[in-house]
């Protein structure tokens, strides 16, 4: 059986730190996503590790709708950043 690969721990500390930051604003999700420039590949796409990473991040916010929405927004921003690469 193959080992389950996830990059959840790579992302979660900054995502949580920015979520709980008292100065968080509407543009903060993009700022958070920008921290991960060139690392979006770890959660974008359909590779098993990307699916696992997104799933683990979504599970982290499962009990808190605001956190779940924040994680979803940060992931959307990371995907946008990746779509702008040439």
pLDDT in tens, the chain (86 residues): 789 999 999 999 999 999 999 999 988 999 999 999 999 999 999 999 999 999 999 999 999 999 999 999 999 999 999 999 86
pLDDT value at residue 32? 96
pLDDT value at residue 2? 80
Kindly report each contact of residues 24-32 with a partner whose C-beta sits within 8 Å and lies 24 or more positions away, as own/partner: 29/70, 29/73, 29/74, 29/76, 29/77, 30/77, 32/74, 32/77
Token digits for 72?
């979803």
pLDDT value at residue 7? 97
pLDDT value at residue 26? 85
Q: What is the pTM of this model?
A: 0.91
Closest CA to 43 of 81, 69, 3, 85: 81
Token digits for 39?
């690392």
Rounded distance between C-alpha atoms, residue 66 and residue 72, angstroms? 10
């Amino acid at each position: 059986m193959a080992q389950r690969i996830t990059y959840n721990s790579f992302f979660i500390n900054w995502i949580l730190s920015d979520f709980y930051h008292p100065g968080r604003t509407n543009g903060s999700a993009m700022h958070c996503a920008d921290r991960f420039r060139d690392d979006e590949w770890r959660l974008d796409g359909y590779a098993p590790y990307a699916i696992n990473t997104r799933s683990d991040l979504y599970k982290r916010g499962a009990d808190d709708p605001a956190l779940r929405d924040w994680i979803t927004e940060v992931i959307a921003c990371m995907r946008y950043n990746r779509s702008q690469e040439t």
